[in-house]
Structure 1
């Protein structure tokens, strides 16, 4: 176990630049999603799909358990995809970060956040699980972009192939960490958030 965890922790310390980059990208996407009306037309179908899925889940027996399963599977699969598909020039994690940021910004705008109960409703619905889920997604995106950089570097400089191989090894404990974080976030979203929303 130690031979996996120690290299990952050491590697994580080198990720400051990538983490800063995806954080800035995410914050910019939040602002764009909240203010750009032209993008709202593109984001509305995505939001409608989420609403439809939520309605279907709410009608199932043991809806909370079903919701938990859907959230875990959806988020865990996407997080792993973000990491490994990043090797394709880092495009997928960049788009994933932008889409998630813009979607949250759009939801914020829809609730007319910033005034009274609307802001409270948004914070209750997003913050409890978001404080874990969003950093996990940003971590996945940061490593995905790094995979893209490492892939491009290895392609044009064969001497850098070892760095890419080392990154693949680090991605194993990374994947485990992401699943654990998203599992905790899913527990909060499925079982705690509905209770908080009623307060």
Structure 2
């Protein structure tokens, strides 16, 4: 194993290495997410990794934070790109014409650091802000995610309050969400009893400033 053509055995094979065959090029699968790409007619503004995947051991052992490489993270984030492309190809009636945009903005942030378009707050409609909040709440409380345990109501809402202060989600939409009690109705229907802990709504509102 590891011998090149014409190379006598035995040979030394590096235990850990980044080899050319570890690189998976984009080829025809290159997604049109860069702003200067003529095929990008959806307004995406994302940084595209140099390759579709990098399977090198050294590359994967050099992750500074978390467990994902740049290529892995892009592949996860690309789901929203494919959502927009797919929905944009469907013949929605006029009153549903914004469905692709609304579905495609749930990872945008008010401070403009979201994706896939990097939209600023003034570019996000009320519907965009509501779907972003709903997506985060569902993700935090979901019990079917293999990469994390489900969080309790108090943990989830505290995280969302921090996100509102940091201008990742709309603070007024979050405040309405708290006061409406819809989170409690959702919990009664979909969360386990262990997740339905006490929530101090007044304290959360005060934390918003």
Greater relative contact order (Cα < 8 A, sep 6+): 1
Task: Answer 1 or 2: which has greater helix percent.
Answer: 1
**TM-score (structure 1 length as normaliser):** 0.28
Larger radius of gyration between Structure 1 and Structure 2? 2
**TM-score (structure 2 length as normaliser):** 0.27
